[in-house]
Amino acid sequence: MALDDHHYENGKIGRLLYQIDDKTYGEEFGAFERFKAQTGIFIDPYRDTLITGQMSALITYLKDAGRGSALLSILKICEAKGQAVIFLGD
């Protein structure tokens, strides 16, 4: 399984930002579950998921989980720039 995180702008998928493998997905799963409980949006490894205005909630849950990952850093940059991301599942 691979879950690719891409920049998303004007309805188009942009450059690849980060790739999430099985191990990383398992490590981030708790944060993804909490994000789903708050927003109703699940970051599913088998479906595409667009994240726009809910970026701050996802960042918060990743931080709360103690994850100082590259994904967290990338999402913080995208949020600061007002950019959306899309997770592309297998």
Amino acid at 12: K
Q: Are 42 and 30 in contact (CB under 8 A)?
A: no
Fold of 3-88: Hypothetical protein yfbM fold (3.40.1760)
Amino acid at 90: D
The pairing of strands 49-51 and 12-20 is unpaired
pLDDT in tens, 9-43: 999 999 999 999 988 898 889 999 999 999 999 99
Least Cα distance to 90 among 54, 49, 51 occurs for 49
Residue 10: CB atoms within 10 Å: 6
pLDDT in tens, 40-55: 999 999 999 999 989 9
Instruction: DSSP letter for 16, please.
Output: E
Whole-model pTM: value is 0.88
